[in-house]
């Protein structure tokens, strides 16, 4: 039945054209943005996951910066520790030279004092971003001083568990008598300011440390050994022996501390590499959820543009059907 009031063919053609236009609008948006899930309306589940992971990736980027800062602090401490080890080696060599017959020990002491000042300078300069890992308060300041441990933390990673709980993990490095060169609390528990006590009665010091070695009057040192390390009497050579042995022990402690710093250096480097890889993997995973396949979308865009043209043509034909009814009323 033909009607001039209702054009069913035109209505059908218009409905089809509207559907094509909606699909075309969606495809054009994907082509222009490069994303098939740009808003929650596109796919609520994927959009939610992608938004959360983008937030986590931003946190991981901050962790990367924190790791770089931590690595710089460790590198600074390690470089200073290496330099200090070389200086203490030189002090040990000077002590050995003092055994020689006819040597001027006062001149050797002048050299030792310069080396001791260099140790202080190295430790004071080993600061990065206001932190110095070679100088720290590691005793409670009491009498006798009790050792304490100060933990330095380097942000290592940002994690989200299966329950959705988030946390920041850290790499910890303890500062105590085996890793700090100077104890700023005055307790003399650092590697360089710790007084020699080996072989002496508990609570008895031998009267010297690496930072206070003095060989100008070895007889006086020998007298201290008589009190601290009976039986005596002790000779100046005995005093030198005690000093060399003590410096060698402290050198071993510095070497151990440098080894620990090297280990944490290696761990931070590995963590930096892992975080960088993790950021890339998460970005790739987000892309798989929300990125548009441009090859597919461009093909669909071309097809929809063709369908749109055909829809317009179909609507035009349907509209001309009503005009043909006029022919029936013409003479």
User: Model confidence over 114-153: pLDDT tens digits?
Assistant: 999 999 999 999 999 889 999 999 998 777 788 999 999 8
Residue 328 or residue 79, greater confidence? 79
216-239: average pLDDT: 89
- Domain range for residue 54? 35-132+194-291
Whether 27 is in a domain gets the answer no
Whether 144 is in a domain gets the answer no
* Assigned token pair, 16: 């089809």
Alpha helices (H) in the chain, listed in sequence order: 8-33, 44-97, 105-125, 218-228, 236-290, 294-325
Whether 177 is in a domain gets the answer no
* Assigned token pair, 279: 């950021």
Alpha-carbon gap, residue 225 to 219, rounded angstroms: 10
- Kindly tell me the sign of the dihedral angle through the C-alpha atoms of 157, 158, 160, 165: positive
Q: Is-contact 146 239, C-beta < 8 A?
A: no
Please state the domain count of the chain. 1
Whether 279 is in a domain gets the answer yes
| Distance in angstroms between the alpha carbons of the first and the last residue of the chain | 23
Helix or strand or coil: residue 177? coil
* Average pLDDT, rounded, for the chain: 88
Whether 52 is in a domain gets the answer yes
Whether 235 is in a domain gets the answer yes
- Residue 280's alpha-carbon distances to 57, 58, 284, 288, 294, in angstroms, are 9, 12, 6, 13, 21
Q: Is-contact 299 42, C-beta < 8 A?
A: no
Radius of gyration (C-alpha) of the chain in whole angstroms: 40
Residue 168's DSSP bridge partners are: 158
Whether 105 is in a domain gets the answer yes
Burial class (CB within 10 angstroms; exposed 0-12, middle 13-18, buried 19+) of 119: buried
Whether 100 is in a domain gets the answer yes
- The tens digit of pLDDT for each residue in 12-24 reads 888 888 888 888 8
Q: What is the CATH number of the domain that holds 56?
A: 1.20.1330.10
Longest dimension (CA), the chain: 149
* Assigned token pair, 300: 């669909």
Q: In this model, does residue 331 exceed pLDDT 60?
A: no
Q: In this model, does residue 4 exceed pLDDT 70?
A: no
């Amino acid at each position: 039945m033909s009607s001039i009031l209702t054009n069913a063919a035109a209505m059908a053609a218009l409905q089809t054209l509207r559907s094509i236009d909606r699909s075309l609008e969606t495809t054009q948006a994907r082509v222009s943005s490069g994303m098939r899930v740009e808003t929650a309306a596109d796919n609520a589940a994927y959009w939610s996951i992608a938004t959360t992971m983008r937030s986590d990736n931003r946190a991981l980027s901050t962790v990367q910066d924190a790791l770089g800062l931590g690595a710089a602090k460790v590198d600074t401490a390690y470089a200073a520790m290496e330099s200090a080890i070389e200086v203490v080696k030189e002090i040990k060599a000077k002590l050995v030279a003092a055994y020689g017959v006819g040597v001027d020990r006062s001149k050797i002491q002048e050299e030792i004092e310069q080396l001791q000042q260099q140790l202080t300078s190295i430790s004071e300069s080993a600061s990065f971003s206001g932190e110095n890992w070679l100088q720290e308060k590691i005793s409670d300041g009491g009498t006798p001083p009790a050792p304490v441990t100060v933990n330095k933390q380097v942000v290592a990673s940002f994690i989200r568990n299966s329950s959705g709980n988030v946390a920041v993990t850290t790499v910890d490095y303890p500062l105590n008598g085996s890793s700090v060169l100077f104890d700023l609390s005055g307790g003399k528990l650092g590697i360089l300011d710790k007084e020699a006590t080996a072989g002496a009665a508990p609570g008895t010091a031998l009267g010297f440390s690496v930072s206070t070695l003095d060989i100008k009057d070895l007889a006086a040192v020998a007298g201290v050994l008589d009190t601290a390390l009976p039986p005596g009497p002790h000779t100046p050579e005995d005093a030198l022996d005690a000093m060399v042995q003590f410096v060698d022990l402290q050198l071993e402690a510095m070497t151990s501390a440098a080894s620990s710093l090297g280990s944490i250096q290696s761990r931070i480097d590995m963590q930096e590499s892992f975080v960088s890889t993790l950021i890339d993997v998460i970005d790739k995973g987000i892309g798989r959820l929300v990125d548009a396949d441009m090859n597919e979308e461009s093909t669909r865009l071309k097809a929809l543009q063709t369908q749109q043209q055909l829809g317009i043509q179909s609507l035009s034909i349907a509209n001309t059907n009503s005009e043909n009814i006029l022919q029936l009323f013409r003479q």
